[in-house]
Structure 1
């Protein structure tokens, strides 16, 4: 059964078409990687899923609900550049994630104490309890990204959106973050959409890998046509040689 339902999505800015004719059904708990060359609409599609933007045409619904007109608690997002609050401590950043679910974004009394206890549990879970009272600027890149994911998870989203979340990390930290993300996903059954330029990463983490590209191209008017999903690979079966994928989609080599 479809949990995230994308129907005939188009997005244009003025006379520049970004994506067109995008259709997708995703099951609850599914992990979908999104790859493609730079500028082919991957991040635009993520912003549409977040409801940060509204499509020129088409609809996106979660669990059969009405299309969202702005970001809400069903959707959590983590960007490449450590989207945390620099003026709050590590613990306060996690508590803030819980506060997103309240009417005014603030917690008082018993609710605040409960959120602080839950924040300490989350920090232990993500290995940051020893820096709970530090500020994000004092943390390494990997630690800041763990904090960003922990903050997003504190709000208990049903859909987690990741825009190049590991692109700025060193290889060792990146592998640690892969394991951390997959553990959280298994525990929560959240549905994940992740944009990545790393084809191997996309196949390693994803149940499916979507390729965005422009099937139509006008050299005299590059903005005339938008990108769409040109391939939808089942990554769970494995055994798809990367060289074969690159033969089918040469633009990925530059993505």
Structure 2
């Protein structure tokens, strides 16, 4: 479904990504981990179509990915992308309205009734059917993120892109959101790409784990080389030692120098 062929991404003289070669089948759930600034979100933006490779090919169904978002791709960010002046129901219906061609973005007649029916159905599935008349400021963080997921799913995308969607949530709420996303992935038969800084989350969710890191370094030109995918691992088949190796690669433990035992001399 998705193929990347020797993708490089540069911003002027800074190389962010290099030598990305992957293929993803429809229905896979891929988690992307790596240190801050290693290009995970940049790759996600290329999948969405708001960034393009500097060189190389990124293909969807053997055709170049369109360089603008479309109904094939839905995205959920860490910071809730909802409209504060609209109710929960209006927010989800707006996702259908904005997908329509034309200038107004408004829904009328049967189109509006269909959008309301579809919105109520997806709000039931994400656990927000009791809150359809509330406004975003009346919702908890987990409820706002459920709302953002409902918006993304209303267009029935084939691909769901998640950019650290649970980073701002408390651990208990995150566990509930993990189960929700897994349920929706199976129900809608989605292909999912999720960026996370939490390695445990990356190992728990989905079917496949990518680790982004730099393998080439030049101290005199730190921007000369970019990150690539250093590990591409099937979830559930990773032993503890490899987990610890990757964890230390992403979060290296700094061992302080031993204090000197020499007796100081005095002139």
> Smaller-chain TM-score range?
over 0.9
TM-score if structure 2 supplies the norm length? 0.90
Cα deviation for residue 108 of structure 1 reads 1.4
Q: What value does the CA root-mean-square deviation take over the aligned residues?
A: 1.6
CA contact (8 A) 1:11 1:18 kept: yes
Residue 63 (structure 2) aligns with: 65
Q: Distance between the aligned counterparts of 1:64 and 1:190, measured in 2?
A: 18
Cα deviation for residue 248 of structure 1 reads 5.1
Q: Distance between the aligned counterparts of 2:228 and 2:127, measured in 1?
A: 39
Residue 203 (structure 1) aligns with: 203
Deviation string 1:214-233 (CA, Å, 9 cap, x unpaired) is 00011121101000001101
Q: Distance between the aligned counterparts of 1:235 and 1:35, measured in 2?
A: 13
Residue 234 (structure 1) aligns with: 234
Residue 20 of structure 2 is aligned to residue 22 of structure 1:
yes
The partner residue of 1:78 within 72, 76, 79 is: 76
Structure 2 gap segments, 5+ residues each: 253-267
Q: What are the equivalent positions in structure 2 for 1:186-225 lying under 5 Å apart?
A: 186-225=186-225
Residue 40 (structure 1) aligns with: 38
Residue 117 (structure 1) aligns with: 117
Q: Distance between the aligned counterparts of 2:93 and 2:28, measured in 1?
A: 27
Residue 133 (structure 1) aligns with: 133
Q: Distance between the aligned counterparts of 1:73 and 1:118, measured in 2?
A: 15
Q: Distance between the aligned counterparts of 2:14 and 2:33, measured in 1?
A: 21
Q: Which moved more, 1:100-109 or 1:208-217?
A: 100-109
* Deviation >3 Å, runs of 4+: none
Q: Distance between the aligned counterparts of 2:198 and 2:247, measured in 1?
A: 14
Call closer, same or farther: CA 1:124–1:39 in 2, change over 3 Å: same
Partner SS, residue 64 of structure 2: coil
TM-score if structure 1 supplies the norm length? 0.94
Q: Distance between the aligned counterparts of 2:135 and 2:246, measured in 1?
A: 46
Residue 182 (structure 2) aligns with: 182
Q: Distance between the aligned counterparts of 1:218 and 1:74, measured in 2?
A: 39
| Structure of greater Rg | 2
Deviation string 1:167-213 (CA, Å, 9 cap, x unpaired) is 11011110100110011100111100000011111111121100000
